[in-house]
Amino acid sequence: MRQQLPGVTIVAKAGRVERTTTADASGCFQLRDLPAGSYRVTARLAGFDNVIFDGVSIVPGSVPRIDFTMAVSPICECIRFGGTTLAEQWDYADAVLHVRLAPAVPGPARAAGYYRHAATVLNALKQPVGPLPVPLFVRQNQRSGARGPYDIDQELVMFLKSSGAGGFVITNDEPGLAAGGSADPAVVFLVDNGRIQRAPSEFSRYIGMPLGAFLGELRALSQRR
């Protein structure tokens, strides 16, 4: 059954330009005075999967129209694995990777409710058994009104667990990313301006730490006997 959805948050983003508005009682919205550019437009509402349009072009003299169709998110219960210290997460993970995100990747493997990037590996801090997948894909859970996807050129440090299918699953239950085709939530540290900017709640003490110091702590874990 289709119906209009009031209260949907709409976010348009292009580089450092970001505008936000909310759909009115009839489910309609307007974003005014956007500079020319190519935008990612995300619609989110608690209880529904995010809907994302990439490459929405804003040019002088045109008024593009976007219609969002939102689907109710399934209920998800998560189980916590891997421990709550960095050493426990390191020991549990089969790979720890520092990556930079590339543009979104469309295709048949892009599951509903998830947003997929390709990723370049900058540091393989803990190598998996066997070669890393090439290309490496990172998929972010966008169910139940999760905040917008991580962005192109952002850096992440990810703790990964090998799956029986030859890909990776994620080692914890923090809402976020999944790699290698897994739908599992993620242990992910977001890097911005050379520092840890976002982390799972139990690792909040690392927020603000310089990336070099954080990577040094991880490399020290790899040298334990």
R_g of the chain, CA atoms, integer Å: 19
> Same domain for 97 and 170?
yes
Residues in the chain: 225
Q: Residue 187 is encoded by which pair of tokens? A: 């242990």
Task: Report if residue 106 sits inside a domain.
Answer: yes
> Same domain for 122 and 186?
yes
Task: Report if residue 208 sits inside a domain.
Answer: yes
Task: Report if residue 37 sits inside a domain.
Answer: yes
> Same domain for 65 and 93?
no
Could you tell me where the beta strands, DSSP code E, fall in the chain?
A: 9-14, 17-22, 37-44, 51-58, 95-104, 114-126, 136-141, 155-162, 168-170, 177-179, 187-192, 195-198
- Structurally, the chain folds into a number of domains equal to 2
- Cβ-based neighbour number of residue 2 at 10 Å: 6
Task: Report if residue 79 sits inside a domain.
Answer: no
Note the pLDDT of residue 177: 47
Q: Residue 14 is encoded by which pair of tokens? A: 């292009």
> Same domain for 109 and 213?
yes
Q: What is the CATH number of the domain that holds 18?
A: 2.60.40.1120
Q: What is the CATH number of the domain that holds 133?
A: 2.40.50
Task: Report if residue 80 sits inside a domain.
Answer: no
> Same domain for 101 and 125?
yes
> Same domain for 187 and 162?
yes
- The C-alpha atoms of residue 152 and residue 61 are separated, in whole angstroms, by 28
Name, in order, each residue with C-beta under 8 angstroms of 69's C-beta and a sequence gap of 6 or more: 2, 51
Beta bridge partners of 95: 160
One digit per residue, pLDDT tens: the chain, 225 residues?
567 889 999 999 888 888 999 999 999 999 988 999 999 898 888 888 888 888 899 998 888 889 988 888 765 544 455 668 999 999 988 889 999 988 766 655 456 667 777 889 999 999 887 778 777 887 777 766 666 667 778 899 999 887 655 567 666 544 444 454 444 556 889 998 999 999 988 899 999 999 999 999 999 999 886
Domain enclosing residue 152, as ranges: 86-222
- The C-alpha atoms of residue 20 and residue 147 are separated, in whole angstroms, by 12
Q: What are the φ/ψ torsions at residue 42 (nearest 5 degrees)?
A: -120, 135
At which of 72, 101, 127 does a domain end?
72
At which of 15, 38, 72 does a domain end?
72
Q: Are 167 and 116 in contact (CB under 8 A)?
A: no
Q: Are 213 and 219 in contact (CB under 8 A)?
A: no
Q: Would you say the C-alpha torsion 99, 103, 108, 111 has a positive or negative sign?
A: positive
Task: Report if residue 51 sits inside a domain.
Answer: yes
- The C-alpha atoms of residue 225 and residue 212 are separated, in whole angstroms, by 23
Count Cα atoms within 13 angstroms, Cβ side, for 136.
Answer: 22
Question: Could you say which DSSP state residue 210 is in?
Answer: B
- The C-alpha atoms of residue 30 and residue 41 are separated, in whole angstroms, by 12
Note the pLDDT of residue 186: 62
At which of 72, 94, 124 does a domain end?
72
> Same domain for 178 and 109?
yes
